[in-house]
Structure 1
Amino acid sequence: MHNQDYPIARRKQESRVVSLKIVQIIPALDAGGAERTVVEITGAVVAAGGQALIISAGGRLEEEIRALGGEIVHLPVDSKNPYVMWRNANRIASIAREFGADLLHARSRAPAWSTRAASKQIDLPFITTYHGTYRTGGVLKRRYNAIMASGDAVIANSGFIARRIISQHGIADDRITIIPRGVPPLYFEVPEAVTSPAQFLLDHGLPKDRPVDEPLIVLPGRLTRGKGQEIAIEALAQLHSQNDKAHLVLAGDSQGRKRYVKGLHQQIARAKIADYVHFCGHVQDMAALYACADIVLSASTVPEAFGRIAVESQASARMIVASAHGGALETITNEQTGFHFEPANAADLAAVLKKVMMLDTAPHKQMRLAGRKHVRAHYSREAMCVKTLGVYRDLISPHEGR
């Protein structure tokens, strides 16, 4: 990936004497929607003539960030230890001062507490992106979550999240900017031109020569209960009990959740579908993964703040089936660009999957192309980057005048 991948950010940059110097703070740089957005905003800032620095505990996305021209400083901002968070505040302030930062952008709760303290030390604008639904509990939990609504500007990645911020934290809606995540141009390419699906299946040990009436259902996402792998396996078992065979690919890291993964294997063994469920670990080339899929599944049992899978799969002209809550209610038009099912309901998921499997070729293709058109119109990466840089400039301009 190179800076030429961000043409709109370059075209629409404003003429300024001093370029943007943006610091983003995020716990880790492995897989996830927030992490991917950090990479994309880094590319946009650099393409617009600015400088981008990321403070993080690190991860597999570092190489991509450096290739885009971003800088990385390692700090334990993934820690929730109060002492470590306090030390991080002083370190972030020092790093930002040395970098000559214009603005600090926090993307998770623990580092946001440190970042706000740092911003006060060095008198810089502080911005947050509310990336998650964040479970609520008692007073302390609500107070902890509230940091994400305390920025000088607050970005919500969906209307669902914007409404949640207002209802839970009582802030004025004019402090919130809704900027949906965007899809890179790569996903709009003809999938077969990106990577050979046959080669991808072979490289990842997935079923290449299966019968045409056994579709490949792909569920991307880290292996954790909230992503709904258990529901998907149960739905697959129900389909097989009706002699409607399909294959399920679970694409994501376990991130050390050995007990949960063991439970999944036990569930698969009990259902006697071991030959039809495939674990392929973390997948870097998501466009190739989508190209292999007949159906893409997002089975989250808790509402997704946005849900990148839903838009990426539609952009790739793949059929999407998703839980009917959270961001998916905005990004998927039910039975027009994809399908919804009742969250955490394996029987309803099985029924919807069967409905999709029985679609004739023409309406199936029409729906997939409608999904691509929908995403191209509303969820481009270029639009996301331009809007985010606009928020940065709106905050920095009056601050520079003080």
Structure 2
Amino acid sequence: MNVLQVIPELDAGGAERTTLEIAEAVVAAGGRALVASEGGRLEGELDAIGADLVRLPVKSKNPLTIWRNAGRLADLVRRERVDIIHARSRAPAWSALLAARRTGAVFVTTYHGTYNARSELKRRYNAVMARGAVTIANSAFIADHVAREHPGLARRIEIIPRGVDLGPFDPERVEPARANAHREGWQVPVGAPVILLPARLTRWKGQLLAIEAVSRLAPRDPAPVLVLAGDAQGRDAYVREIEARAKELGVAIRLPGHVGDMPGALMAADLVLAPSLEPEAFGRSAAEAQAMGRPVIVADHGGAREVVEHGVTGWRVPPGDAGALAAAIETAFSLSPQARAAMARAARQRVEAHFSKRALQENTLRVYRELLDCRP
């Protein structure tokens, strides 16, 4: 089985991480894994698992470049005898679809987000993600969205949630010194609670809402520290807005940028937030927090609603409601050690049962094999 995945870049993100996990599974199954991309920080990991990066300008939305990429991908498919082209983003998906039609390779997509369409033209552009022989949705929320946005277009929708690698994301494997190193790096005062919001710094991820919620908490000494861990990706004006709002409201924040050791960072946190203002396709940060036994609060919409069982593995609050988020934070801080331990056990068990990397890999390979078995 030779599988070519197509994704714009290989930097931090759920789609990028899933690309590596599926490449790993293909190689482990004795197949050939190729990734067409402009590359990024995850290139080394891709190479380490035995997959091949084919550097192409697939991030571009220029129609001429998309057309040329179709030819480049078709040549690659023929040269490497690719069986399946798996597209993970819209612009390269158009190139991949054309290449599949020219070569007879099986075309598969993963619908990684809601791809909001504000016009019919944008909806038609997005529709390429529903044109696969199978369209993989990473949550029931996304499956419903695909069916609603593109009625009758998707031939077959498979719900395969993103997975957490339960090896590194295991609280038993993180030494206390590793978690303490994060707290020291964040300059957290001794005894201060750490509230971690792991997400790229973009407005819809809810950083400003989190600052507002923390400002409404009952006074504590020492005061909690809100760690906003994620890349700004050039959004310098938004970073300045975050800093100004935190200063205005008297909230202690830290902006460490990208965190390479997320298991260690999660163990350094007393509470994890995922207060996205727009629906998440899945809710990977919440799943990772649960795998590490951390209490987590998510916005009650999108895929995150499927990840967190309210009151059992964490809490769900109305999106955009700073008061409700503050109340949930107070509830989390008030947990007894016994209740906190029980929630940690339930959270870990939920991820093991429903959201593991192994399940993601096995189900994706199953889809690949079924499609190849049906090929003439």
TM-score, normalised by the number of residues in structure 2: 0.96
1:217 is aligned to 195
Q: Do residues 336 (structure 1) and 312 (structure 2) align? A: yes
Decide whether the 8 Å contact of 1:165 with 1:171 is kept in 2: no
Match of 2:113 among 127, 132, 135: 132
Decide whether the 8 Å contact of 2:131 with 2:155 is kept in 1: no
Change (3 A) 1:182 1:195: farther
Q: Which amino acid in 2 is paired with 1:153?
A: V
Match of 2:53 among 72, 87, 105: 72
2:132 is aligned to 151
Give unpaired runs (5+ residues) of structure 1.
1-19
Shift of the alpha carbon at 1:147? Answer: 0.7
Decide whether the 8 Å contact of 1:300 with 1:323 is kept in 2: yes
Deviation per CA, 1:250-308, whole angstroms, max 9, x where unpaired?
A: 110000011111111111121123xx200110011111111111101101110000010
Deviation per CA, 1:233-255, whole angstroms, max 9, x where unpaired?
A: 11111226688931110110000
User: Which is worse superposed, 188-197 or 103-112?
Assistant: 188-197
Query: In structure 1, how many angstroms separate the alpha carbons of the residues matched to 2:22 and 2:243?
Result: 38
User: Which is worse superposed, 188-197 or 38-47?
Assistant: 188-197
User: Which is worse superposed, 20-29 or 354-363?
Assistant: 354-363
1:264 is aligned to 242
Match of 2:302 among 326, 331, 347: 326
Q: Do residues 37 (structure 1) and 13 (structure 2) align? A: no
Match of 1:197 among 149, 156, 179: 179
Q: Provide the secondary structure at the position in 2 that maps to 1:369.
A: helix
1:58 is aligned to 39
RMSD in angstroms over aligned alpha carbons? 1.6
Q: Which amino acid in 1 is paired with 2:172?
A: V
1:89 is aligned to 70
Decide whether the 8 Å contact of 2:171 with 2:293 is kept in 1: no
Q: What pairs up with 1:95-244 in 2 under 5 angstroms?
A: 95-171=76-152, 175-185=156-166, 186-193=168-175, 196-202=178-184, 205-211=185-191, 214-239=192-217
Q: Provide the secondary structure at the position in 2 that maps to 1:41.
A: helix
Q: Which amino acid in 1 is paired with 2:149?
A: Q
Q: Do residues 379 (structure 1) and 355 (structure 2) align? A: yes
TM-score, normalised by the number of residues in structure 1: 0.90
Q: Which amino acid in 2 is paired with 1:196?
A: R
Q: Which amino acid in 1 is paired with 2:240?
A: K
Shift of the alpha carbon at 1:188? Answer: 2.7
Change (3 A) 1:176 1:340: same
Match of 1:352 among 315, 318, 328: 328
Query: In structure 1, how many angstroms separate the alpha carbons of the residues matched to 2:77 and 2:208?
Result: 44
Change (3 A) 1:190 1:242: closer
Identity %: 45
Query: In structure 1, how many angstroms separate the alpha carbons of the residues matched to 2:154 and 2:340?
Result: 39
Give unpaired runs (5+ residues) of structure 2.
none
Change (3 A) 1:208 1:268: closer
Change (3 A) 1:173 1:97: closer
Shift of the alpha carbon at 1:364? Answer: 1.5
Shift of the alpha carbon at 1:369? Answer: 1.1
User: Which is worse superposed, 36-45 or 164-173?
Assistant: 164-173
User: Which is worse superposed, 59-68 or 370-379?
Assistant: 370-379
